[in-house]
Structures are given as structure tokens and as C-alpha cells.
Amino acid sequence: SLAWRILSITLLHPCGNTDFCNDPCPLSKGRSLIGNVDKSPVVTGRGVTVKPGFSVDEFSTSVLTGKLTTVFLPVVYTIVFVVGLPSNGMALWVFLFRTKKKHPAVIYMVNLALADLLSVTWFPLKIAYHIHGNNWIYGESLCKVLIGFFYGNMYCSILFMTCLSVQRYWVIVNPMVHPKKQANIAIGVSLGIWLLILLLTIPLYAVKQTSYIPALNITTCHDVLPEEVLVGDMFNYFLSLAIGVFLFPAFLTASAYVLMIRTLQSSAMDESSGKKRRRAIKLIVTVLAMYLICFTPSNLLLVVHYFLIKTWGQSHVYALYIVALCLSTLNSCIDPFVYYFVSQDFRDHAKNALLCRSVRTVKRMQVSLSSKKFSRKSSSYSSSSTSVKGSY
């Protein structure tokens, strides 16, 4: 659309001089950007010969030096870090130390909060990387860890969100199932998901993720990769992830919510059912927003981008893709709202934590509230007994 063209032209306008970018060899466009091996030795002012790096075309240079990657991305990542770190930290603390009953939903939410927290913890390195002109100074190993956590968090969130959705439907359909048995199943499923994500991210650790660009004097992390890696390994890898770890879980999540709504609509409309329905609708809207904003655009454009590179040798969806991939990290900010709508215990404990109420204070308030309720029931019972005796 015209809006996206204007956005891409505005954000991708290079900040610095690009006279050195006139490469006669046409290279592909997109992310990861395609780099050709530059075999010419680079000699520094001190006479030290630096190992050859990669050469990129003018468009790739404008991307690496433009406002999209050096201003827009670090701003969004900073917002996610500032919001996601304390919110997920508090959520994890509430689930582990304030919530006594470890229901299956709580177990899935603990793992979801842990995945978000592990991912957000690495964001300062990513923010510094983009602010300093996409120059990675922390070594190959840390770059691989960052990329592994970045993609691992997205697919971890999808899988745990799917488990949470299916579990909510199962509780509504089978309310009498023993909670301890469900909790054991949830623990086993969670361990299986972590193992699966670990195995799925191994290819990211096997590929060299850093590339030195002599013309820009920067070392990129995952942004510039050899063409043979992009066309072969990365296309097949991300296509498999999109089908197996996005489309299939998305289908399960949608099916669970459709069946959940049908079950609630067919149930008797008492006050309890009305509350459950309203809570389920809020949860559905929140998860749907997460899929529409975070997961669907990034996974769709991920496959489209690598398909265009594989088929046509170039990709023109970079602006859309880079924005979608950046917005996918917003799930770390949205997840705490899912906890709020799913768990009554989380709502109560989070409110008490924000009001700085200790566990002892909360217990005293609960005892006081129970005493008041008991006294009201007793007075109501005594008054009703008196009226019955008076009638005789």
C-alpha cells in the first residue's frame, strides 16, 4: 500500500554517506540481507591486515544505516524491555511465591512468564546493537544466544498459549477432573515444550550469525548472511517452524475458543455462567490481539520473505517484515494481561503486591472478611429464627 511505501522510504533513508555503495553486482534485498564475500584484504592505518568480510549493495547499506534499524527498532525494544521486565518479573514472583495452589493454568503461565523474562533480559544487548549502527561487539557466541532466545521466545509463547487455551476449554467441559492429575500432565507438557524449543533453535546456533562489513566498518548479527544460507537452510527452517509451531497451534487455539464459546452459550445463564462467559470473551480478545499483532504478521512475512529470495533472488517486503518481527516482541507486554483474565489468584495477589501488602496483612484481611461474613450469616439466621418463633 501507499502508506507502507512512504514508511519504508522515510525510515530506510540512509543517515550517512553512501558513495561507497555503488556495487556493480546486484544483490538481493531483505532480511537477513544477502552479503557477497569481499576477498580484498583490508589494511588499517597501522598496517594491520584485517580478514575479508562481506560486501552489500546500496539498498542493504541504507537499511543498515537508516532510521528504521537505528531509531525505530531500539525505541520499540526499549519499550518492551521497560514494560516486559518488571511485569513478567512480578508475574513470575506472584505465581511462585504467592500462589499456593499450582493449577495447570498456573503452571503454563509460570513457563510463559519465564520465557518472556529470559528473552527480555537480553534486550539491552539488542538495543545497544541497533543504536550503534547495527554494530555487534559482543562476539559470535552471544549473537547466537540472542537470536536463539529471540525466536525461541516467540514459539515458546505460541505453544504455551495454545496449552493454556486448550486447558481452559477442558476445565469448562470437565470441571470434576482431579486437579493433581491435571497438574502432573501440565508439568510434563511444559518440560516437553522446553525440550522441543531447545531442539528447534539448534540450527540457529549451528549457522554463523555475525558478518563483518568492511565498507561500513561494522559487524552485523543475523542481519547479513551468505546467499547460500538464506536460500537453502533458512528457508526450509523457517517454513517448517511456521507450519509446525505456528499454524498447527493457531488452529488448536482457535478450535478451543470456538468450542468454549459454544459450551458457555449452551449452559444455563446464571450469575456464575455470566462471569465465566465475560472472562472467556476477554481472554479470547486478548489472545486474538496477540496473534494478530505479534505472531501472524511475523510468521507470514517470514515465509514470504525467504520464499521471494529463494524464487526470485530478491525480496521487497523488508519494511513490512522488519516492523512485524519487531512487533512480535510485544507479546512479552501482552502476556501479563492474559494472566489477569485467566487467574483470579493472580488478580488478587498482583493487586496486593502493587499495594505493598505483606502475606501476613493479606491473611489478616481475609480472616477479618470471613468473620464479617460469618457474623452477617449468624445475625440473619437468628433474625429468621426469631420471626419463625413469633409466628407460632
Give me 18's grid cell.
Answer: 553512501
- Cα 310 from Cα 206, distance rounded (Å): 21
Nearest residue to 230 via CA among 9, 29, 18, 11: 29
The domains of the chain are located at 67-209+226-351
Nearest residue to 251 via CA among 352, 359, 337, 158: 158
Q: Which amino acid is at 55?
A: S
Residue 390 clears pLDDT 80, i.e. is over it: no
Report the Cα 300 to chain-centroid distance in Å: 15
Predicted local confidence at residue 29, as pLDDT: 37
Choose the weakest-confidence range: 30-39, 210-219, 286-295: 30-39
Element (H, E) at 307: helix 296-312
Residue 245 clears pLDDT 90, i.e. is over it: yes
pLDDT, tens only, 132-187: 999 999 999 999 999 999 999 999 999 999 998 898 888 888 777 666 778 889 99
- Cα 361 from Cα 363, distance rounded (Å): 5
State the pLDDT confidence band at 196, using cuts at 50, 70 and 90: very high
Choose the weakest-confidence range: 78-87, 124-133, 325-334: 325-334
Predicted local confidence at residue 50, as pLDDT: 47
Mean pLDDT along residues 268-276:
63
DSSP conformational letter for 50? E
Q: Which CATH number fits domain 67-209+226-351: 3.40.50.2300, 1.10.240.10, 1.10.1030.10, 1.20.1070.10?
A: 1.20.1070.10
Residue with cell 502432573: 184
DSSP conformational letter for 271? H
Nearest residue to 226 via CA among 236, 216, 218, 234: 234
Give me 137's grid cell.
Answer: 561487539
Give the angle subtended at the CA of 222 by the CAs of 220 and 228, to the nearest 5°: 110
Element (H, E) at 224: strand 224-226
DSSP SS3 for 356: coil
DSSP conformational letter for 313? S
State the pLDDT confidence band at 16, using cuts at 50, 70 and 90: very low
Nearest residue to 257 via CA among 342, 154, 186, 347: 342
- Which pTM was predicted? 0.76
Predicted local confidence at residue 207, as pLDDT: 87
* Residue 48 burial by Cβ neighbours in a 10 Å radius (0-12, 13-18, 19+): exposed
- Cα 198 from Cα 192, distance rounded (Å): 10
Residue with cell 589494511: 43
Q: Crossing angle for the helix pair 271-290 and 331-342, nearest 10 degrees?
A: 170
- Cα 196 from Cα 240, distance rounded (Å): 13
State the pLDDT confidence band at 379, using cuts at 50, 70 and 90: low
Contacts of 264 (CB under 8 A, 6+ apart): 172, 273, 276, 277, 280
- Cα 59 from Cα 199, distance rounded (Å): 35
- Cα 199 from Cα 100, distance rounded (Å): 32
Parallel/antiparallel/unpaired status of strands 33-37 and 54-55: antiparallel
Phi, psi of 209 (to 5 degrees): -100, -20
Asked whether 80 and 324 are in contact (CB, 8 A), the reply is: no
Better-predicted residue by pLDDT, 185 or 29:
185
- Cα 163 from Cα 388, distance rounded (Å): 54
- Cα 49 from Cα 215, distance rounded (Å): 15
Contacts of 376 (CB under 8 A, 6+ apart): none
- Cα 155 from Cα 224, distance rounded (Å): 23
